[in-house]
Amino acid sequence: MPKFAANLTMLFTEHPFLDRFEQAAQAGFDAVEFLFPYAYDPGEIKHRLDAHGLTLILHNLPAGHWDDGERGIACHPDRVGEFRAGVEKAIDYAQALGVRQLNCLVGKAPADVAADVLRRTVVENLRFAAARLKQAGLRLLIEPINTHDIPGFYLNRTAQAAGLLDEVGADNAYIQYDIYHAQRMEGELAATMAKYLPRIGHIQLADNPGRNEPGTGEIHYPFLFAHLDRIGYDGWIGCEYKPATTTAAGLGWRAALVR
């Protein structure tokens, strides 16, 4: 049976961020994830987690100037120092919040940088991040993102992510497999998840088109949930979708699609 974590960046957005923890618990979630904690005091977030009996599954490394459209800086050769400082900040938050894995959004490839320089920058940054996270007892995740939603994103396919991890060579580095992004870029969801299962550290979901809740689009989620059980995936699945109306109104998919 799948274990679902509410993504508080996407769900319960009718409420201020710190109030979403209570909303998630009331909706029956035992775990949450979100993009970034850095605008908040970690003690306040930890209080909300503890008060509502929630486990934090995941948050991201700092990803540059998000409000200005940046989506990560791990592929930017002129910002290695900023990336490494962000790794240290993320570890501080992770240790305060009790989260065991951090996701790195590698970012949109900067213009006029040679392909070999981009790859070398990503690999060296990921190698640094994985080593520092291992010292802290944490796992590093990297996430392929579709280039329809984020044109120019450097990492966009599962095989590409596996190749980067092979070059990084860290035993605590895994793929974050987002079903929505994978459907838009490559399809073959069941076969790909089975092939790369040992490399997948976390899964996220949304339907396509629209990135709304499961059951609103073309992805056959009852089959995929049963498939994940069959192949032995026992991790969490983050619910990173945009509710078609309100979060509460759309939560019936869990009972309708999980058998």
**What are the distances in angstroms from CA 49 to CA 2, 55, 135?**
21, 7, 25
Sign of CA dihedral 79, 80, 86, 90: positive
Q: Which domains does the chain carry?
A: 3-257 (3.20.20.150)
Q: Which residues are catalytic?
A: 143, 240
Q: pLDDT tens for residues 16-52?
A: 999 999 999 999 999 999 999 999 999 999 999 999 9
Report helix, strand or coil for 62.
coil
Cα 1 to Cα 15: distance, rounded to the nearest angstrom: 29
Angle (deg, nearest 10), helices 158-168 and 189-196: 10
pLDDT given for residue 259 in this prediction: 58
pLDDT given for residue 251 in this prediction: 95
Q: pLDDT tens for residues 95-125?
A: 999 999 999 999 999 999 999 999 999 999 9
pTM: 0.96
